[in-house]
Amino acid sequence: MKKHGNRNDDVRTMFTGMYGYGKEYQPARADLGGRVALITGTAGMIGFAAAKRLAQSGCAIAAWDLCEDSGEAKAREIADATGGNVVFYKVDVTDRQAITDAVARVIADFGKIDVLFCNAGGNWGNRKPVYEFDDELFRRNERVNLTGSVVWLCREVIPHMIRQGKGSIIITSSVCGVTGLRNQCGFVGSKFAVSALTRSMALEYARDNIRVNCIAPGSTPRPEDKLNPLWDTVDFENFEKNFSNPENLLYDIPIPRPAEPDDMAGLVQYFASDDAAYTTGQVVCVDGGWTAGFSGNY
Ligand SMILES: NC(=O)c1ccc[n+]([C@@H]2O[C@H](COP(=O)([O-])OP(=O)(O)OC[C@H]3O[C@@H](n4cnc5c(N)ncnc54)[C@H](O)[C@@H]3O)[C@@H](O)[C@H]2O)c1
């Protein structure tokens, strides 16, 4: 195995070749030709990776993001790389009317929505316990991650899927949507809520042939960045020490590396495909085993 880099490298340099990070894998192929996917947050890491993978599988992509410049550029990049039909829409998912208008435009442009990937979101907070957590930041997590990104968008798209007689909805939660974490009540609360809604909506729409599933990513730093503070605890000089020091992030993550956006893309493709025809209401962690169990040998 390649030796890890050092603390001053970017994440990609630091981990490439380790435990499948930056892997030159052969992605599973799916034939999604003729389908249309609406994906939010495509200017960001996970949305971009998923949009590119679905475009490679033959899906036409309606790519939504708040950021116009990078959203347009990323959509062009996917279209150039895949030869696919990728159209960018600037939409703020906290704006109810903007969602209504943009879904109508997608239907006018593509005629249908087979796959909805509710992925736009973020983690806003002042890293304080609940009684000191900033009110406005708490509301921002709720408004973007839960109300806008999932509830309002699903309410606009589901009637079209019911009319079509089928659909696959995929939602991005987090490992913080299946287990607790200190000092991030805004993010944790919003992501637990979307994990729960995945199950509720799966029950509500199964007989309409609409499946609803959820991906729960582990810590996914931007590959081109230096490590973010979460990864500051990693000891790169004595890498093996990470596995015996409970203060260290890697002590808790059985596959000891960060997640990368492509780790999520294959699961999104699976949920979008007919291979998942009997899979609904599931929340699947892509986290190197982080949430599989306790780390210590108790
Ligand atoms: N990166 C991680 O470590 C991690 C871990 C767990 C869950 N997640 C979740 O994964 C999803 C994707 O995040 P990412 O890691 O790709 O981060 P990212 O910041 O690269 O991408 C998020 C995208 O969402 C867009 N967005 C934010 N608010 C929006 C709004 N109001 N309207 C429309 N678009 C908006 C941003 O412009 C950005 O392009 C998010 O829901 C995030 O909470 C990320």
How does pLDDT run across 46-100, given as a tens digit for each residue? 999 999 999 999 999 999 999 999 999 999 999 999 999 999 999 999 999 999 9
Scanning the structure block, which residue is given the tokens 């796959």? 115
d(CA 140, CA 145): 8
- Residues contacting ligand 1 via CB (< 6 Å): 40-41, 43-47, 65-67, 91-94, 119-123, 144-145, 148, 172, 174, 217, 219-220
Could you list the residue range(s) of the whole structural domain that residue 187 is in? 31-225+262-286
Atom of ligand 1 nearest to the CA of 148: 31
Ligand 1 atom at shortest distance from the alpha carbon of 92: 32
Q: Whose CA is nearest to atom 25 of ligand 1?
A: 41
In sign, the C-alpha dihedral spanning 181, 222, 78, 32 is negative
Kindly state whether residue 236 falls inside one of the protein's structural domains. no
Question: Could you tell me if residue 10 is inside a domain?
Answer: no
Distance 123 CA to ligand 1 centre (A): 8
**Residue 292 C-alpha to ligand 1 middle, in angstroms?**
24
With respect to residue 234, please indicate whether it lies within any of the assigned structural domains.
no
Residue 214's H or E segment, with its range, is: strand 210-217
User: What residue spans of 206-260 are helical by DSSP H?
Assistant: 249-252
- Rounded to the nearest angstrom, the distance between the alpha carbon of 64 and the centre of ligand 1 is 12
**Separation of 144 CA from ligand 1 center, angstroms?**
10
Tens digit of pLDDT at every position of the chain (298 positions):
455 666 677 888 888 888 888 887 788 889 999 999 999 999 999 999 999 999 999 999 999 999 999 999 999 999 999 999 999 999 999 999 999 999 999 999 999 999 999 999 999 998 999 999 999 999 999 999 999 999 999 999 999 999 999 999 999 999 999 999 999 999 999 999 999 999 999 999 999 999 999 999 999 988 877 777 777 778 777 878 888 888 888 889 999 898 999 999 999 999 999 999 999 999 999 999 999 998 888 8
Please tell me the residue having the least CA distance from ligand 1 atom 28: 121
- The pLDDT score that the predictor gives to residue 191 is 98
What is the structure's pLDDT at 206? 98
On whether residue 253 sits in a domain, the answer given is no
| Cα 238 to ligand 1 centroid, rounded to whole Å | 33
Position 16 scores a pLDDT of: 85
Is residue 175 one of the residues assigned to a domain? yes
Q: What is the CATH number of the domain that holds 181?
A: 3.40.50.720
Domain membership flag for residue 250 = no
**29 Cβ neighbours under 8 A, 6+ residues apart:** 57
Ligand 1: atom nearest CA of 95 is 31
User: Measured from the CA of 176, which atom of ligand 1 is nearest?
Assistant: 6
Q: Which atom of ligand 1 sits closest to the CA of residue 43? A: 39
- Listed in sequence order, the residues at least 6 apart from 79 whose beta carbon sits closer than 8 Å to its beta carbon are 55, 85, 86
User: Each residue of 36-67: b (16+ CB within 10 Å) or e?
Assistant: bbbbbbbbbbbbbbbbbbbbbbbbbbbbbbbe
Give pLDDT, residue 92.
98
Q: Which atom of ligand 1 is nearest to the CA of 67?
A: 37
Could you give the number of structural domains in the chain?
Answer: 1
Closest protein CA for atom 6 of ligand 1: 174
Entry pTM: 0.97
- Contact between residue 67 and residue 43 where contact means Cβ atoms under 8 Å apart: yes
**Minimum CA distance residue for ligand 1 atom 18:** 44
Q: What does the pLDDT read at residue 290?
A: 95
Domain assignment of residue 108, yes or no? yes
> Residue 242 carries which side chain, given as an amino acid letter?
N
